[in-house]
Amino acid sequence: MQDARPASPLLTVSDFERAARARLSRMAYDYYRSGADEGWTLRANRRAFRRLEIHYRVLVDVAARDMSTTLLGTKVPFPILVAPTAYHRMAHPDGEIASSRAAAELGAIFTLSMLATTSLEDVAAASDGPRWFQLYVHKDRGITRALVQRAEAAGYRALMLTVDTPVLGRRLADVRNNFVLPEGLAMANLVGAIPADGVERKGSPLTAYIASRHDASLTWRDIEWFRSLTRLPVLLKGIVRPDDAVRALDCGAAGVIVSNHGARQLDGAPATIDVLPSVADAIAGRGVVLLDGGVRWGTDVLKALALGASAVLVGRPVLWGLAALGGEGVARVLSTLRDELSIAMALAGCPNLGSLDRDLVRVAHP
């Protein structure tokens, strides 16, 4: 990474991405940016937002806007969370600690990836902001149980179980770049739990982890088992179907994340904003409905909330901010999206989140 600060003003998420690209190695940038195979779903996630128009209301008192909400018992000042993403220290030496502190500064929930380059205990010790923990189920269920116990002991408030990864999607950029973690970085939460056996030293550590340790036989029965491990609320991440969303709640989940894994798993999966309304209808208020994938503007957040999301998560934008300016960049990305949402709500005639409804958003005519 280069040391020079960006010369141009950083006003949008796209500005931060350009600044991050200039600072990151090609391997790191491609790892963060790319999707699976042809990248069709990667493009669809963003294009789907562009197809939606905001049919704004006028002559509404929007002198004061309230963006606050409560998620699983935690009140947050605005409905934008940090999504779990791997390997923050590849973007900046301060890694997940800088990202979590920036989120805490703004009162946003920070979700730590199991594949972080900083341990969940070190992240918990770095700030007192609200934190969730994301993980996968291992073939060795003892590893999964231990991770859950560590997260509970460290004060994480919810668990996010990713369920869309029985095998790893083919990320062609990583294959072509022969992606490996830079020297000195490791999947910190798995150090000691997964012994080096040769396969982890060949190529992508993520690919090796999924191939050798991840449980591809996971079924709905195992969700009930996982739920039995913890007193914390459990969210299932990777849902795109209404029937799966209902079954998640029937298994004891507190909610779902409408997600296609940032388009990094199945190329050809639907854009998340397109399936959000049907999932929200199926949930019918029984649990939390969150969305990730393609959120780059405050207007995207508004559209997602209007179509049934309780809040959205952002992943790549946080990494762009971290790579560009460290923790300051993460805070600026989150505050930029927050401020864009506030302006969009004012211009759409919506003084609070309760005033965001489906009548506000319509598919654009061709």
Q: Say which residue the tokens 């209007």 belong to.
A: 306
> For residue 195, what pLDDT is reported?
59
For the segment 150-158, the average pLDDT, to the nearest whole number, is: 98
pLDDT digits (tens, 9 = 90+) for 274-309: 999 999 999 999 999 999 999 999 999 999 999 999
For the segment 316-321, the average pLDDT, to the nearest whole number, is: 98
Is the model's pLDDT at 209 over the cut of 90? no
Cα separation, 249 vs 9, whole angstroms: 44
pLDDT digits (tens, 9 = 90+) for 30-69: 999 999 999 999 999 999 999 999 999 999 999 999 999 9
**Count of other CB atoms within 10 angstroms of residue 102:** 29
pLDDT tier, 199 (very low <50, low <70, confident <90, very high otherwise): very low
Cα separation, 321 vs 251, whole angstroms: 37
> For residue 215, what pLDDT is reported?
85
| All domains of the chain in start order, with CATH | 13-363 (3.20.20.70)
Of 92, 138, 214, 261, the catalytic one is 261
Q: How far is CA 274 from the centre of its chain?
A: 17
pLDDT tier, 212 (very low <50, low <70, confident <90, very high otherwise): confident
Alpha helices in the chain (DSSP H): 13-23, 26-33, 40-50, 95-106, 120-126, 141-153, 172-177, 205-213, 220-228, 242-250, 272-283, 298-306, 316-348
Is the model's pLDDT at 357 over the cut of 70? yes
pLDDT digits (tens, 9 = 90+) for 1-13: 545 666 679 999 9
- Whether 261 is catalytic: yes
Is the model's pLDDT at 333 over the cut of 50? yes
For the segment 155-174, the average pLDDT, to the nearest whole number, is: 95
> For residue 213, what pLDDT is reported?
78
pLDDT digits (tens, 9 = 90+) for 87-135: 999 999 999 999 999 999 999 999 999 999 999 999 999 999 999 999 9
Q: Hey, what are 231's tokens?
A: 């007193």
SS3 96: helix
Report percent pLDDT > 90 for the chain: 90
